[in-house]
């Protein structure tokens, strides 16, 4: 039986747990040490540290303090790990807490985080998803049920001081190009809400003031939101500090490719069972700059999709050059419009794309001026036929509760 080396209490604030942190900094103390070949279990808060509740109001999503996120369990030291090594991490298992069989999906207000389609969904909305073993469904989105592919949205190793300085310099430079943009271009250090694990006093304050926020993916891994990092996956992380300093959190019950609603997966608290090994000097040997991984051999299997194309032409008809971001946004918007023909609200359709195991593909980046991106919507998640037919779309979704919305405060 694997040892649980980091435990959490869902009834207490994440700030009270000194084996949890919400920033990246090389001086955050290791909270446990394991040996190569060891396996162990780590418990994790949801990414907000419990700010979102199981109810039918989106006020908590509207009012969430995003300067607190993400709460990560760790960092965990690995004996013998040195800068330049590769840390090999096997995800052996991952699951929910018996007392917390639910998760949430949210659209964040444009004034507080926004999202991939924030211009179309500018205000806070939330859907709650109940778990039944490996399956999930939502009281806010009828006629849909699917199997979850549970995975950590965020996992990575501590940066070196040099890498931290690189992050802060380049992200501050980006923000300086449009400092008043809403939402902001990047999330810069914020010491006021930093939780630096077992650091205390002036040292914690000084480190928190320069520590990197956990919001984006970076060279060390971080918030990559790759839905295929599930049971059976193997990930290779570059090591930047002695001991590696592995941390993990932001567990998802399910997610569509792109996590397009920002809080775009079904977010949950839970546990993860890991095993670690080392490849000495692996960064040089394999020319690694960013982590590489082997996908899970276990995933929901669907053999029928409706596939939506998008090209590099925006909603106003503006032409872009091989812009995959614009193309994928158009594919998502096309899928949302399609689902409304069967009775879903646009918010319900948007939530489905964020939560269900949809696939996103870069289908073409060579045919100037338009890139082509595709979104693959599995038909098997619906309890009715959503395929096109000569009879036209039949409205199948009616009644019930829509995705709760909370207006921005004046």
For residue 339, name the pLDDT band (cuts at 50, 70, 90): very high
For residues 235 and 210, the answer to whether their CB atoms sit within 8 Å is no
For residues 207 and 28, the answer to whether their CB atoms sit within 8 Å is yes
Residue range 310-336: average pLDDT?
98
**Which pLDDT belongs to residue 201?**
97
Residue for token pair 């190009």: 177
How far is Cα 363 from Cα 324, in angstroms, rounded to an integer? Answer: 9
How far is Cα 187 from Cα 137, in angstroms, rounded to an integer? Answer: 33
**Which pLDDT belongs to residue 1?**
82
pLDDT of 346 over the 80 cut: yes
**Which pLDDT belongs to residue 30?**
98
How far is Cα 35 from Cα 167, in angstroms, rounded to an integer? Answer: 30
**Which pLDDT belongs to residue 236?**
98
Tens digits of residue pLDDT in 209-219:
999 999 999 99
Residue range 41-53: average pLDDT?
97
Tens digits of residue pLDDT in 244-263:
999 999 999 999 999 999 88
Handedness of CA 157, 162, 165, 169 (dihedral sign): negative
- The rounded mean pLDDT for the chain is 96
**Which pLDDT belongs to residue 263?**
86
For residue 29, name the pLDDT band (cuts at 50, 70, 90): very high
**Which pLDDT belongs to residue 298?**
87
- What lies within 8 Å, CB to CB, of 66 at 6+ separation is 108, 112, 113, 187
**Which pLDDT belongs to residue 264?**
80
For residue 280, name the pLDDT band (cuts at 50, 70, 90): very high
**Which pLDDT belongs to residue 365?**
97
Of 68, 105, 108, 104, whose CA–CA distance to 406 is shortest?
Answer: 108
Residue range 372-394: average pLDDT?
97
Residue range 147-168: average pLDDT?
98
For residue 179, name the pLDDT band (cuts at 50, 70, 90): very high
Give the rounded percent of residues in the chain with a pLDDT score beyond 90.
Answer: 96
For residue 56, name the pLDDT band (cuts at 50, 70, 90): very high
pLDDT of 301 over the 90 cut: no
Using H for helix, E for strand and C for coil, what is the string for the chain?
A: CCEEEECCCCCCCHHHCCCEECCECCCCCCCEEECCCCEEEEEECCCCCCCCCCCCCCHHHHHCCHHHCCCEEEEEEECCCCCCCEEEEEEEEEEECCCCCEEEEEECCCCCCCCCCCCCCCCEEEEEEEEECCEEEECCEEEEEEECCCEEEEEEECCCHHHHHHHHHHHHHHHHCCCCCCCCCCCCCCHHHCCECCCCHHHHHHHHHHCECCCCEECCEECCCCCCCCCCCEEEEECCCCCCCEEEEEEECCCCCCCCCEEEEEECCEEEEEEEEEECCHHHHHCCCCCEEECCCCCCCCCCEEEEEEECECCCCCECCCCHHHHHHHHHHHHHHHHHCCCCCHHHHHHHHHHCCCEEEEEECCCCCCCEEEEEEEHHHECCCCCCCCCCCCCCCCCCCCCCEECCCC
Residue for token pair 């984006």: 216
CB atoms < 10 A from the CB of 392, how many? 7
């Amino acid at each position: 039986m694997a040892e649980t080396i980091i435990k959490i209490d869902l009834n207490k604030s994440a700030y009270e747990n000194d084996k949890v942190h919400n920033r990246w900094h090389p001086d955050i103390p290791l909270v446990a040490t394991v040996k190569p070949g060891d396996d162990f279990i780590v418990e994790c808060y949801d990414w907000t540290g419990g700010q979102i509740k199981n109810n039918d109001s989106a006020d908590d999503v509207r009012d969430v303090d995003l300067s607190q996120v993400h709460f990560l369990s760790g960092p965990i030291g690995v004996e013998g790990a040195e800068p330049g090594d590769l840390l090999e991490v096997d995800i052996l298992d991952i699951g929910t807490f018996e007392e917390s069989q639910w998760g949430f999906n949210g659209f964040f207000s444009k004034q507080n985080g926004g999202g991939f389609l924030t211009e179309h969904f500018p205000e806070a909305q939330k859907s709650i998803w109940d778990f039944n073993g490996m399956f999930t469904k939502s009281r806010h989105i009828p006629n849909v049920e699917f199997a979850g592919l549970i995975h950590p949205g965020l996992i990575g190793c501590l940066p070196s001081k040099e890498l931290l300085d690189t992050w802060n310099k380049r992200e501050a430079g980006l923000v300086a190009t449009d400092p008043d943009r809403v939402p902001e271009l990047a999330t810069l250090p914020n010491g006021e809400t930093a939780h630096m694990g077992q650091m205390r006093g002036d040292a914690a304050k000084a480190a928190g003031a320069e520590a990197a926020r956990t919001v984006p993916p970076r060279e060390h891994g971080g918030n990559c939101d790759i839905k295929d990092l599930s049971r059976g996956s193997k990930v290779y992380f570059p090591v930047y500090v002695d001991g590696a300093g592995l941390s993990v959190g932001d567990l998802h019950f399910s997610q569509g490719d792109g996590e397009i609603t920002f809080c775009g997966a079904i977010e949950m608290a839970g546990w993860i069972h890991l095993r670690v090994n080392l490849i000495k000097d692996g960064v040089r040997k394999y020319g690694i700059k960013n982590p590489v991984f082997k996908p899970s051999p276990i995933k929901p299997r669907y053999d029928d999709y409706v596939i939506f194309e998008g090209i590099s032409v925006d909603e106003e008809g503006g032409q872009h050059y091989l812009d995959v971001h614009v193309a994928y946004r158009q594919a998502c918007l096309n899928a949302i419009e399609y689902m409304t023909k069967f009775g879903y609200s646009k918010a319900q359709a948007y939530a489905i794309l964020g939560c269900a195991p949809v696939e996103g593909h870069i289908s073409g980046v060579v045919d100037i001026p338009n890139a082509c991106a595709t979104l693959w919507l599995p038909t098997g998640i619906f309890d009715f036929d959503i395929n096109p037919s000569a009879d036209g779309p039949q409205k199948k979704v009616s009644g019930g509760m829509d995705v709760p919305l909370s207006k921005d405060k004046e």
